[in-house]
Amino acid sequence: MSLRARLLAALSYVLFLAILALLVPLVVSVRDRVDAEVRSESLNAAEILAATASDAAPSGLPALTRRAAARLRGRVIVVDAAGRLVADSAGSGTRGDDYRTRPEIAATLRGEGPVQEERPSETLGRRILATAVPIVREGRRTGAVRVTQSVDAVHSAVNRATIGLALIGGVVLLLGLGAGALIAGQVARPLRRLDEVAGRVAGGDLAARAPVEGSAEQQRLARTFNEMTERLGRLLEGQREFVADASHQLRTPLAGMRLRIEEAQATTTDPDAREELTGALEEVDRLSAMVSELLLLSQSGEADAPAEPLDLAAAARRAADRWAGAAAAHQATVEARDGIPGPRAHGARADLDRILDVLVENALAYGPDGQQIVLAAGRGTIEVLDQGPGVPPDEAEAVFERFHRGRSGRQGPPGTGLGLPIARELSRRWGGDVRIEGGEHGGARAVVTLPLAGS
């Protein structure tokens, strides 16, 4: 999960808990308040109607009950002192019907005062809120007013208030998440750009610098990273200059040594001396080759060659053509074998040619005369197969260490021990690798891998 996603998730969690902690008590309070208001409104309306009915003519009571019922969204009835129906807002009752069995009316007529309770209604088949208030005239109870409302209607009012509060909480959550996404983006953006610049530096672009932006801590990190990159660039540049200068300076005395040894070899007639001088010439040549390869190795980590899509099959054919003459001197053959056509690889053509040259040269140097060397191109790979002594499994990695030649190398012709390290460094420059394995029928199997173009 990205930093931005983590920050947004944490903010969402905190916002949700905060809204929940505020909303739950508020919803409970609102539910209680709405319920209390509904009960209070019913009681007040019943009391007003009872006061009005005490002075009103019986013929005017139906109109009064209908108006009150419309306002309260319920049913309003008026009964006399005997509990018989006088007026009904619903019009479903008949004047004179007996309502003494209704508990709230019976309690009110007994003088227990206003009554308000929830109870099941056998007639309606659901729970109702019943409010009964006595009608008092000249100090005597002459009847009662009853208001009945469906509890479902009361709950519907409460639920509407609850849904309204939940919607407000949802809007607050969405607004908070929007602001959180903006803040998280501002926090993560400098780190993302720093990561991009670090990737460019890792790819060899030591001139890349991170923008100094964001919070004070992020700005300090960017400045520290830029200082580190600049210092690293200076160190690598100094190392390259040292190796280059040393290589150039060593070539002159090496050339002088070779001339002196050749002159001494030409003037002496002692066979033993001539043999020693010939060995000295070979060591001078080996030292010259080592100086050249050290210079190449010091530059192998720098991606100065232009990258391009590479046709691996074409690279294998070029290598076979370049080494055909050298192979003929060993009565050997170098063959390029095309595999299944695949996508092009990503890298530098000069680097790939140098890698294949190292591998084919080793195959010729340490393999038997008359062998067949095969270069097989595949999907992002080129295999170099030879019929030489191979590399023991315990030395498969050691041969890529600088100056390490292995048991097979020490038994063969002299070398510098830098060819394979150079090949691996050149391949890793582009995100690839070189490894050596045992072949299927003896010999060695060197595998070059490169990333596919566009990946």
Q: How large is the average pLDDT for residues 139-163?
A: 80
Whole-angstrom distance, CA of residue 392 vs CA of residue 373: 19
> What does the pLDDT read at residue 333?
92
Whole-angstrom distance, CA of residue 206 vs CA of residue 27: 61
Report the alpha-carbon angle 374-380-384, nearest 5: 20
> What does the pLDDT read at residue 375?
92
23 CB neighbour count, 10 Å cutoff: 18
Provide the 3-class DSSP secondary structure of residue 101: coil
Provide the 3-class DSSP secondary structure of residue 296: helix
pLDDT tens column, 59-91: 788 888 888 888 888 888 898 888 898 888 888
Provide the 3-class DSSP secondary structure of residue 281: helix
Q: How large is the average pLDDT for residues 258-279?
A: 82
Q: How large is the average pLDDT for residues 324-352?
A: 84
Whole-angstrom distance, CA of residue 286 vs CA of residue 365: 14
pLDDT at 454 > cutoff 80: no
Whole-angstrom distance, CA of residue 140 vs CA of residue 234: 110
pLDDT tens column, 90-125: 887 788 888 888 888 888 888 887 888 888 877 767
- DSSP-assigned letter for residue 386: -
Structure tokens at 188: 């993560």
> What does the pLDDT read at residue 340?
61
pLDDT at 371 > cutoff 80: yes
Domain 3-157 class, CATH top level = alpha beta
Of 92-96, 128-132, 166-170, which range is least confident?
A: 92-96
- DSSP-assigned letter for residue 60: G
Q: Give me the residue spans of the domains in the chain.
A: 3-157, 223-299, 308-449
Provide the 3-class DSSP secondary structure of residue 309: strand
Whole-angstrom distance, CA of residue 188 vs CA of residue 260: 67
The whole-chain average pLDDT of the chain stands at 81
Q: Which helix (H) or strand (E) holds 52?
A: helix 3-53
Q: Say if residues 280 and 265 touch (Cβ distance below 8 Å).
A: no
- DSSP-assigned letter for residue 110: T
pLDDT at 445 > cutoff 60: yes
Phi, psi angles (nearest 5°) of residue 92: -85, -20
Asked whether this chain's domains 223-299 and 308-449 adopt the same fold, the reply is no
Whole-angstrom distance, CA of residue 233 vs CA of residue 225: 12
Provide the 3-class DSSP secondary structure of residue 390: coil
Q: What is the pTM of this model?
A: 0.45
Whole-angstrom distance, CA of residue 114 vs CA of residue 283: 122
Percent of the chain exceeding pLDDT 90 equals: 7
- Residue 373's pLDDT band (boundaries 50, 70, 90)? very high
Structure tokens at 422: 């150079």
Whole-angstrom distance, CA of residue 71 vs CA of residue 149: 11
Whole-angstrom distance, CA of residue 351 vs CA of residue 46: 99
- Tokens 């060995």 sit at which residue? 279
Per-residue exposure over 51-78, b if at least 16 CB sit within 10 Å of its own CB, e if not? eebeebeeeebbebbbebbeebebbbbb
Q: Say if residues 427 and 434 touch (Cβ distance below 8 Å).
A: yes
pLDDT at 415 > cutoff 70: no
pLDDT tens column, 416-437: 667 788 888 888 888 899 998 8
Q: Which CATH number fits domain 308-449: 3.30.565.10, 3.40.50.1370, 3.90.400.10, 3.40.109.10?
A: 3.30.565.10
pLDDT tens column, 14-57: 888 888 888 788 878 877 787 788 888 888 888 888 888 877 77
- AA letter at 112: E
> What does the pLDDT read at residue 55?
77
Whole-angstrom distance, CA of residue 429 vs CA of residue 206: 14
Domain 223-299 class, CATH top level = mainly alpha
Structure tokens at 352: 């790939």
pLDDT at 199 > cutoff 60: yes
Whole-angstrom distance, CA of residue 362 vs CA of residue 37: 97
Structure tokens at 34: 């709405």
pLDDT at 196 > cutoff 80: yes
Surface-to-core class of residue 133, CB atoms within 10 Å of its CB (0-12 exposed, 13-18 middle, 19+ buried): buried
Structure tokens at 178: 């929007």
From the list 353, 358, 348, 380, the residue with the least C-alpha distance to 450 is 380
Q: Say if residues 420 and 296 touch (Cβ distance below 8 Å).
A: no
pLDDT at 455 > cutoff 70: no
From the list 135, 186, 128, 187, the residue with the least C-alpha distance to 152 is 128
